[in-house]
Structure 1
């Protein structure tokens, strides 16, 4: 069973990687755009200078670099599976994929594995460029950071699967999903500390999983925090994941069954 599951995921990975790497110019331009963005953040950090809210993180550049690295996972988790479903719809292959004996969970994982590998590369480039080019020191336990990142990504991916459920049924994106994404970017502390928000918006920000993911990763990587310092973030993200993962798979299963019952899998 395990070998078959790995073979399925590998098949999805090879397919998607082959398609992505066949466009070499686009691949190179995407890497270059990351470096340009890090450079822009550096000059912005020079303009901002020292600020009490940013001093615990070593300044604006390391703060924003971690934010952008997490956003790459957020966007991937939120969009990759929905985009994969939409592509299969337009190519007319969605019904063939969903009618195979492959479990829905394997299709979900396989369809997004390349996108998450690319998100990992993007995050590494963001942090490495900020560290090497602009002398930013990373501290803390990398394994602890990885655990927190995995929990955060699981929640992001679950939201993406729910968004894909809307695409299966309604053949277009989920407007609620776009709203959640915009609010997360606005209130999650990506480009500025949550403490810069009005008090009532700060309360709203802590209803969002991205806030806990960013807080925990910045504490670990930039402040050298240990497990005892970030266990509240780990606990909250575990709760989010425990609810969102089974809920997303349930929603997608229901969406596929409804589309099969209505005979609309081939429609787009």
Structure 2
């Protein structure tokens, strides 16, 4: 068993060491979401509470952004990092070794998922314990959902990188894959108010379920069946994205 797992663990360790030595990427992963949540807090600082809910505007919008920001950041960083492996020739060399595509993608997924977990933990800690965000449910559930959603961003980033030839092209997938999900996830307009065909599209987007799960935590003190369903769906999207990324992994960039 140890021999079988050795290529996977070696790949995971290599990616983690690369991340540790890339201070700008570490800052992007760990600091930027927390800073953006702080900015959001000051934007809504003087917004009064409504008579219908004890939650402030920061509480309602911020808890949703705790799912969206990790998803965006991890998608972008993972897609660029994987494409960098291709353009530098590292991927070409790795695939001439006994390392399988599954080992490579699993190593990347694990390493970046660990970074995603740290990112979500820091962003949630800053939001709840420093900025005073409140929710009916436990902050621990918010952290779990944010982590799962960030891992989904990792999976989709790895998948998107398979169809890009340069790092710039990897970035260009953001408005194609990420932006529609932000528009249709329920952040801007409740999904029930969308035209029927747009609501149908939103039903097959992972960010929709992440946002819905966070809203469940915001409104309910205990975990609901809907929340568990949403988390399962987002995790399923992440697994499928990683599997498709492995199936479409190319050896050459040209």
SS at match of 2:44: helix
Please report the TM-score for the alignment, with normalisation by the length of structure 2: 0.75
Structure 1 runs not aligned, ≥5 long: 260-264
Q: Does 1:224 align with 2:217?
A: no
By how many angstroms is 1:157 displaced?
Answer: 3.1
Aligned counterpart, 1:49: 48
RMSD: 3.8
By how many angstroms is 1:245 displaced?
Answer: 3.9
Give 2:158's match in structure 1, choosing from 158, 161, 169. 161
Aligned counterpart, 2:19: 16
Aligned counterparts of 1:161 and 1:83: Cα–Cα separation in 2: 9
Q: Does 1:249 align with 2:252?
A: no
Q: Does 1:7 align with 2:23?
A: no
CA contact (8 A) 1:167 1:173 kept: yes
Q: Does 1:129 align with 2:129?
A: no
By how many angstroms is 1:166 displaced?
Answer: 0.9
By how many angstroms is 1:82 displaced?
Answer: 2.3
Give 2:208's match in structure 1, choosing from 200, 206, 211. 211
Change (3 A) 1:236 1:30: closer
Change (3 A) 1:182 1:27: same
Q: What are the residue-to-residue correspondences of 1:75-86 with 2, within 5 Å?
A: 75-86=72-83
By how many angstroms is 1:189 displaced?
Answer: 3.4
Aligned counterpart, 1:140: 138
Cα deviation per residue 1:100-138 (whole Å; 9 max; x = unaligned)? Answer: 211212222333545444433332333222222332345
Aligned counterpart, 1:262: none
Aligned counterparts of 2:218 and 2:79: Cα–Cα separation in 1: 31
Change (3 A) 1:232 1:121: closer
Aligned counterparts of 2:172 and 2:105: Cα–Cα separation in 1: 21
Deviates more, 1:40-49 or 1:167-176: 167-176
Cα deviation per residue 1:68-110 (whole Å; 9 max; x = unaligned)? Answer: 3323431244233321232223433231122221121222233
Give 1:194's match in structure 2, choosing from 185, 190, 193. 190
CA contact (8 A) 1:140 1:220 kept: yes
Give 2:71's match in structure 1, choosing from 63, 74, 82. 74
Structure 2 runs not aligned, ≥5 long: none
Change (3 A) 1:171 1:244: same
CA contact (8 A) 1:69 1:123 kept: yes
CA contact (8 A) 1:84 1:111 kept: no
CA contact (8 A) 2:209 2:230 kept: yes
Q: Which has the higher helix share?
A: 1
By how many angstroms is 1:160 displaced?
Answer: 1.9
Aligned counterparts of 2:29 and 2:243: Cα–Cα separation in 1: 34
